[in-house]
């Protein structure tokens, strides 16, 4: 019988044990050894993570003990979309109604933002038209 390992033929040129095997190489001869070190924190890293304290209303899913680690203070819930979000966060996360209300709030907020932009454009165009008409009437 041969001492070769039965298999895919990848290591048939090396004996199963003894010299020539990669796993018997001295640890100092391995190429990755100088880079290996025990894990330690970065010297300037803080000792513990500081959880952000919210400055505005933060919606929290019922049943969770802690709020999310990162809290967005940029856009607090407001208006009709905010009411929909508050209603959604009264429903547990595993109910489809929770996600449908959040999607509806996102779409409503996007439509209202677009409507505000068009109202501003229309007001500016109306003011320009009134100025040009006043100049024309002189």
pLDDT in tens, 66-123: 766 555 556 778 889 889 988 988 888 889 998 999 899 989 989 998 998 899 889 9
Give the separation between CA 118 and CA 10, rounded to whole angstroms: 68
pLDDT of residue 127: 94
Whole-prediction pTM: 0.49
pLDDT of residue 62 exceeding 80: no
Question: CA–CA distance from 87 to each of 12, 72, 100 (Å)?
Answer: 67, 19, 11
pLDDT of residue 4: 46
| Residue 49 DSSP label | P
* Bigger pLDDT: 62 vs 137: 137
Task: Give pLDDT tens digits for 7-59.
Answer: 555 556 656 666 666 665 666 666 666 666 677 878 888 777 777 777 777 77
- Cβ contact 57:87 at 8 Å: no
Assigned token pair, 32: 């990755």
pLDDT of residue 135: 92
The answer to whether the Cα torsion of 96, 97, 98, 102 is positive or negative is positive
């Amino acid at each position: 019988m041969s001492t070769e390992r039965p298999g895919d033929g990848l290591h048939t040129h090396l004996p199963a044990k003894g010299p020539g095997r990669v796993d018997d190489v001295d640890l100092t001869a391995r190429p990755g050894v100088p880079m290996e070190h025990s894990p330690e924190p970065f010297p300037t890293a803080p000792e513990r993570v500081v959880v952000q304290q919210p400055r505005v209303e933060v919606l929290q899913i019922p049943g969770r003990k802690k709020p999310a680690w990162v809290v967005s203070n940029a856009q607090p819930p407001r208006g009709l979309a905010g009411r929909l979000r508050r209603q959604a966060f009264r429903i547990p996360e595993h109910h489809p109604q929770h996600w449908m209300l959040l999607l509806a709030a996102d779409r409503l907020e996007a439509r209202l933002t677009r409507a505000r932009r068009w109202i501003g454009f229309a007001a500016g165009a109306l003011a320009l038209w009134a100025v040009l008409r006043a100049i024309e009437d002189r």
